[in-house]
Amino acid sequence: HVQLVESGGGSVQAGGSLRLSCEASGYTLDRIYMGWLRQAPGKQREGVASIVSDGRTKYAESVEGRFTISKDNAKNTLYLQMNSLKPDDTAMYFCAAGSTGYFLGRPTLNSGAYSGWGQGTQVTVS
C-alpha cells in the first residue's frame, strides 16, 4: 500500500518561511521521482519543484531561488523549504510521486507525469 502524507503547511506573513514534509509509505525514493505541485483557488494545478533519484532538481521560475526541494531516502521523506514567501504562493501544496521510465532521470513539473498524490497541505501567505 503506497501513501503520501504531507505536513508543515500553515499561515505565515509575507517574507516568512515554511518547511513542508511528505512521508512516502510503500515507496523506495531512490527508484522514483517526486515533486511538489500547488493549486490556488480558481487556478490550474502547477508544478513547483521536482527531484529525481540522483538528486537533480527542477523549479518553476516563480519559486527559483526561494524554494528548495530535497529528500531523505533513509527516512522516505520529501521536503520543500520555502523562504521569502509571497502572497502569490498561497495555495494547496501537494506531494506527488511517479515511476514512469522517461522521467526517472528528468525532473518534471508536469502534473501528468505523477501517479501518486498526497491529500495536500494548505499554505497561506498574507
Please tell me the predicted confidence (pLDDT) of residue 102.
87
4-22 pLDDT, tens digit each: 999 999 999 999 999 999 9
From CA 89, how far away is CA 126, in angstroms rounded?
10
Q: What is the rounded average pLDDT of the residues 95-110?
A: 92
pLDDT tens-digit series, residues 39-85: 999 999 999 999 999 999 999 999 999 999 999 999 999 999 999 99
If you search the block for the grid coordinates 511538489, which residue do you land on? 36
Backbone angles phi, psi at 65, to 5 degrees: 90, -15
Say which residues have a Cβ less than 8 Å from residue 55's Cβ, sequence separation at least 6.
Answer: 71
